Each structure stands twice: as C-alpha cells, then as structure tokens.
C-alpha cells in the first residue's frame, strides 16, 4: 500500500509561492542595499567637501569659490533628500516582501504539518491492517 497525500499539489503550489516570495524579498533587499550605498556615498561626499571647504577657508577663499562650494553642497543636499526618500521606499518595500515571505512560510508549514499528521494516520491504519492480517493468519493456522 503506497502513501499518497491528498493535498500534495496544493503543498507544491504553496512551496512555489514561498520560493517566489523569497526571490522577491532577496531582490528587495538588494535594491535597498544599492540605494543605501548610494545615499552613503553622497553623505560621505558632502562631508568630504565640507571638510575640504573648511580647510580652504583657513587659507582664505574668494567669494566666488565660497558660492561655488555652497551651490555644489546644495546640489548634493538635494540629491541626499531624494535618496533618503528612495531608501525609505526601498525599506518599506523590503519590509512588505519580508511580511509576505513570513506568511508564505506559515502556509507551507501548515500544509507540511497536515501532511505529517496524515502520514501518521496512514502508518497507524497500515499497522492495524497488518495486525488484522497477522490475527487472521494465526486464527487460520489454529483451526487447521
């Protein structure tokens, strides 16, 4: 007697959905890391530029150079604000995909637990059937 789980196809579908959710989550994490890396690079660039400007201020700067540095820092700050919003969006997307992945994991575990219980019942029925056959054989040998 072979074991066949009645929800095997559903379990396969749920596992496939879980794998897709895992892939989407990994992509979201990668996108978040890329955007965060860009933001970090801009923040570092701004910090370096401000340190360089402070160094030059000690030696003396013309008004034109001060304006040039200020314009450049303002442009970097605009980029920083833009990338901060991108990082927030990427983090939210990553958290959403993580939540979906957790939900899919729970669904798969439910079906796996059902399968384990069903297999346990199958083994119990098989054992009872074997015991009945052994009883019949012993009864028949006793009568003969």
Count of H-run helices and E-run strands, the chain: 2, 0
For residue 64, tell me if it sits in a domain. Answer: yes
pLDDT band at 86 (very low <50, low <70, confident <90, very high): very high
Coil/strand/helix, residue 3 = coil
For residue 65, tell me if it sits in a domain. Answer: yes
pLDDT band at 25 (very low <50, low <70, confident <90, very high): very high
Residue 57 to residue 53: CA distance in whole angstroms:
6
Q: For 34-69, write each residue's pLDDT tens digit.
A: 999 999 999 999 999 999 988 888 888 788 888 888
Contact 36, 87 (CB under 8 A): yes
Question: Which pLDDT score is estimated for 44?
Answer: 97
Residues 6+ apart with CB under 8 A from 103: 21
Residue 131 to residue 91: CA distance in whole angstroms:
59
Question: Which pLDDT score is estimated for 142?
Answer: 80
Max mean pLDDT among 3-7, 16-20, 51-55 falls in: 16-20
For residue 131, tell me if it sits in a domain. Answer: no
For residue 109, tell me if it sits in a domain. Answer: no
Question: Which pLDDT score is estimated for 79?
Answer: 96
Cβ count within 10 A of residue 18: 20
Answer yes or no: is pLDDT of 10 > 90: yes
Residue 57 to residue 71: CA distance in whole angstroms:
16
For residue 129, tell me if it sits in a domain. Answer: no
Question: Which pLDDT score is estimated for 77?
Answer: 96
For residue 51, tell me if it sits in a domain. Answer: yes
Q: State which residues form the domain around 58.
A: 9-104
For residue 66, tell me if it sits in a domain. Answer: yes
Into how many domains does the chain fold?
Answer: 1
Query: Structure pTM?
Result: 0.77
Report DSSP letters for 39-95, one per residue. HHHHHHHHHHHHHHHHHHHHH---HHHHHHHHHHHHHHHHHHHHHHHHHHHHHHHHH
For residue 28, tell me if it sits in a domain. Answer: yes
Q: For 88-139, write each residue's pLDDT tens digit.
A: 999 999 999 999 999 999 999 999 999 999 999 999 999 999 999 988 888 8
Residue 50 to residue 70: CA distance in whole angstroms:
9
Q: Residue 96 sits in a domain of what CATH number?
A: 1.10.287
Question: Which pLDDT score is estimated for 125?
Answer: 93
């Amino acid at each position: 007697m072979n074991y066949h789980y009645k929800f095997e196809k559903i379990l396969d579908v749920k596992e496939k959905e879980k794998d897709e959710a895992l892939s989407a989550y990994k992509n979201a994490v990668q996108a978040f890391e890329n955007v965060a890396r860009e933001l970090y690079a801009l923040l570092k660039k701004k910090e370096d530029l401000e340190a360089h400007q402070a160094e030059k201020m000690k030696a003396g700067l013309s008004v034109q150079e001060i304006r040039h540095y200020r314009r450049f820092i303002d442009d970097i700050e605009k980029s920083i604000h833009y990338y901060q919003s991108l990082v927030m969006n990427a983090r939210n997307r990553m958290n959403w995909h993580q939540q979906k992945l957790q939900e899919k994991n729970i669904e798969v575990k439910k079906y796996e637990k059902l399968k384990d219980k069903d297999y346990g019942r199958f083994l119990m029925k098989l054992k009872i059937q074997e015991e009945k056959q052994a009883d019949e054989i012993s009864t028949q040998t006793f009568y003969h």
